[in-house]
Structure 1
Amino acid sequence: MDAGMISAPFCSAESFRGVGRESDASAGATPATTGARSETEAHRRLKRLALIWAQAQGYSACALEVRLPRCHYRVDLAAYRPNRNGAACTAAFECKQALVDLRRDNGASEIIRQRLQQLYSRRQLLESKLRIHYPQLRIPDSLFTEFDSHDFAAIGHRGYTRVTRELSALQHRLFDGTKFEKLIRYRCANLFYLVLPNELFRSSEIPLDWGVLIESDGVLTLARKPLWHDSAAEIGVHLLERIAAAGTRNLNRQFDIQLAQPERLRAG
């Protein structure tokens, strides 16, 4: 399991400040062009910080704007980390700079958010009690026991199952489309992170199983640990290939290389 999932709170902030901080002006909504796509400086800033954070956690292969395997969705950042035992860890990052990016729309969203907060508090209470009464549910997947995961679904607790299902259904209504849910369902990567400004973080509105990196003063901090998702080894290889392809496209743009006839070039 991924020890890097818990390391961010214990990393030195100075290791990120020197390379991650940008001027205050970059946090504004000034449009910038990346390739054929227009985005704000605030969004670019979050992607840059996510790239720095991922490499600090040992992800040696990273690329922006990568289409994930097994689905048609593109993520802001994809990362690949080889492990010594031959297995690999893959991660997908989505950066959201504003509530309108995170939520589907504003219709009845306030009522949904209030109910989400109630359900989230209920789930937190149930989990605290289940940890006490069912210590065998703990999964030793972290360096520090207080960050270990728990398989609460294993015992089939009716109340917990009901709360979790309603949470998932309401989040599905609130969030922008079904992208977050489908990335988890298709197991396009092992770990999934949302990257948000600090003022945007609300625990009850974070999709199930997603981790959260919050930005404050030019530093990313792990606010919520993601849930690990097993995926076939070939999925990791496919993602690594797509990361490499995205990196190559970026280099071509930087050097103004245009391959009009790639098939002929390969044949030669």
Structure 2
Amino acid sequence: MDASIVPRRGETETHLRLKRLALIWAQANGYSLCAAEVSLPQSRYRADVAAYQPQSGQAGVTAIFECKQALADLRRDNCCSEATHERLRSVSRRREVLEKHLRIHYPTLRTGDSLFPEYDSHDFSAIGHHSYSRVLREFTALQNRLNGGRKFECVVRYHCANLFFLVLPDELFCDWEIPLGWGVLVEEKNGSLALARKPAWHDNGAETRLRFLQRIASAGTRQFNRALGITRKEIVSAAKLAGVALPGRD
């Protein structure tokens, strides 16, 4: 019996379709062991699709597929920390200069929240200064990107897999938007995926690949359990009857 891909809460039909196409493409290209929504070893991230290609007499090849249906979705995870840090430093300096001048020209912005005047904070938002508001918005956005928008960079840096692919609708593919070293699979009009850019090879150890394979197996088991209506409670009860101590959950 085949287990269908169970959509995540809030997942769109487009994202689910891209994930399904990635699973088909991976298996058609020799990645015979695949699963969706796989927690990655050595990181806090989860791959839309993870795949393993067995190799005779040696560790197999591992691949990660990330599906993106919109440009904003793509850019959210594609933060280059070095460039973003540099931009953040520049914006921070600009913010400090503006605040220095605003303190001089608008002394009434003091909030009086300290016993010592030199430590009083200032409510710069009270005057609606256009340039300051724009700088503050960019400063906040850059901080948010550094805190949560580095998925593409981190999974490569942590050597989570050997190959990394983005799966995109054809109209979304722009070469300059693609992170360095990632391959691209684009959805064609006939409903299949085509390789638009080859990925770079990222080496890692056999132990890392084995853990990757274990994560695929674990995710696949969870997906079958959901599809077949098997609950954790049933598994625990069966284990008790068999006198088996279950390991901790992955």
Report the TM-score, using the length of structure 1 for normalisation: 0.59
Matched, 1:243 2:216: yes
> Judging changes above 3 Å, is the alpha-carbon distance between structure 1 residues 99 and 247 closer, same or farther for their aligned structure 2 residues?
same
Residue 253 of structure 1 is matched in structure 2 by 226
The within-5 A match list for 1:1-268 is 34=6, 37-104=9-76, 177-217=149-189, 218-260=191-233, 262=235, 265-266=238-239, 268=242
Structure 1: 5+ residue runs without aligned partners? 1-32, 106-111, 113-169
Structure 2: 5+ residue runs without aligned partners? 78-83, 85-141, 243-250
User: For residues 185 and 97 of structure 1, what CA distance do their matches in structure 2 show?
Assistant: 24
Cα distance, 1:36 vs structure 2: 5.2
User: For residues 212 and 181 of structure 1, what CA distance do their matches in structure 2 show?
Assistant: 16
Cα distance, 1:211 vs structure 2: 0.4
Q: 2:7, 2:16 within 8 Å by CA — same for their partners in 1?
A: no
What one-letter code is carried by the residue in structure 2 that aligns with 1:224? R
Q: 2:43, 2:158 within 8 Å by CA — same for their partners in 1?
A: yes
Cα distance, 1:266 vs structure 2: 3.8
Indicate the structure (1 or 2) with the bigger Cα radius of gyration. 2
Residue 199 of structure 2: SS of its match in structure 1?
coil
Residues matched between the structures, number: 171
Q: 2:183, 2:197 within 8 Å by CA — same for their partners in 1?
A: yes
User: For residues 45 and 59 of structure 1, what CA distance do their matches in structure 2 show?
Assistant: 19
Cα distance, 1:219 vs structure 2: 1.6
Residue 38 of structure 1: SS of its match in structure 2?
coil
User: For residues 58 and 35 of structure 1, what CA distance do their matches in structure 2 show?
Assistant: 25
